[in-house]
Structure 1
Amino acid sequence: MSWIAALPMYNVTPALDLEWREWLDDVLRRIKPACRIVEPDEELHGFWRRPNLLISQTCGYPLMQGLHAQVQLIATPCFDAPGCDGAHYSSVLVTRADARFDSLASCRGARAVYNQDDSNSGMNAFRHAVAPLARAGMFFGAVLRTGSHLGSLRAVADNRADVAAIDCVTFAFVCDVLPELARRVRAIGTTAASPGLPLIASANVPPATIAALRNALNETLTSRPARAKRLRLTGFSTLPLTDYARIGELESEARAAGYARLG
């Protein structure tokens, strides 16, 4: 089988995308499979389900919404970023730098923005944070979907929205490589933590290859420490799927509070 690989999640700029691609190429060269690094030519839910997927990265929300039945977990990256604790991460609640809001509670009636309906960091954790504040299932005056964390940050910075929840790893990269955008927003809180975005493989990948991938992941950190620092990588954890049940708990807790969707 001819395997494919892609890392679609933390490509904040073209330069960072290239850095991740070079890192992935280094991982693959260490296990020497017949594998191509590709750009997904379909929506990610379909791509992640490809039977010849050797390695990619997904969000924990779609993982627990059914994807887990067709893939296996390789490892979860650990990042050096504010809001991360080992393999767990949270979202940063942001508003405009000059906005009047100083907490999520102060955003009642404001304009919220989020990236995707299937995002744990941008939607699910955000919904969970808002749920205790909502009244009759409502909190915000308006809600806009942008399609990406960068889109959400720019909507807040440009005064098209007032508050967003941004994956803390994404936000750390924005501070690194897009400092002018980072200066236009301000953190006013964080969401609850949950397991980070896992590296996955098709269920067809043999166990020996999964083990080789895990070894290669760690080798790339020690062989190129400067690159690991730029990518904010500190290690990898092998989490059981049961750890990702926390993501479903965030959803259940919000629904139990009567807040089923951002609004």
Structure 2
Amino acid sequence: MRKTVLEVLGLHRSYGGVRAVDDVSLTLAEGRSLGIVGESGSGKTTTARIIVGLERADSGRVLVHRRDRTERGRGRADRLARAREVQMVFQDPYLSLDPRMPVATVLRETLRLHFPGTDHERRIAELLDQVGLGPREAAALPRQLSGGQRQRVAIARALAVEPAVLVLDEAVAALDVSVQAQILNLLADIRAATGIGYLFITHDLGVVRCVTDEVVVMRRGRIVESGPTAEVLARPRHPYTRLLLDSVPVPGWDPRRIAAARRAL
């Protein structure tokens, strides 16, 4: 029986009169991968940002290893400890990397902040090797790297603090298909080696099918279906899940039929 690493209990978040997150609950076990899927505006990214701590819920709780993260950390040490628990990788890593810093410096600054007094140079080499990068990339600026290489740097930086949960928000959506496959294979290898838990936020059912063990489907801030990924995608129970599956282009695909089905929901 795997230990539960993340528990989300009854999250609510509203903006004005709009309920962005409406009574969302989910769990993630150690070493497992959970997908949150839905269209734009479904509430999946807001849920992720609350879990990471970038936004606060109106109500509900987020627990990592049964420790409540709902209230703000008290003091610098507590805030750093919370940051180490859950890390996030964004869709566009270029926006989260300092364009003036070489890759090795980006990693070194993260390690200095969280682990002062340790052997940073050896750890930097380990992290780069873990994500398939080497000395040439270590000396490069973000603008000198490809999109896939920048995403590898973002993953390495997130892994540097040894998080229990890694949240990936559309982390491969901006990459070419072949590069997507490389990054997804890399993430699978890292999960197998470390036992980290993944939370994939995506609209791409192909990504969900490839890299998640379980999935929750969100619509208008609520979870409408959840379960093992293979089961949900093979035998969807909710009309919205079926609509998402039908929206994937295949030979004979008719976008007008999909639009009509969406209006009918």
- TM-score strictly above 0.5: no
TM-score, normalization: structure 1?
A: 0.26
State the TM-score, normalized to the length of structure 2.
0.26
Flag the structure with more relative contact order, 1 or 2, with Cα contacts below 8 A and sequence separation at least 6: 1
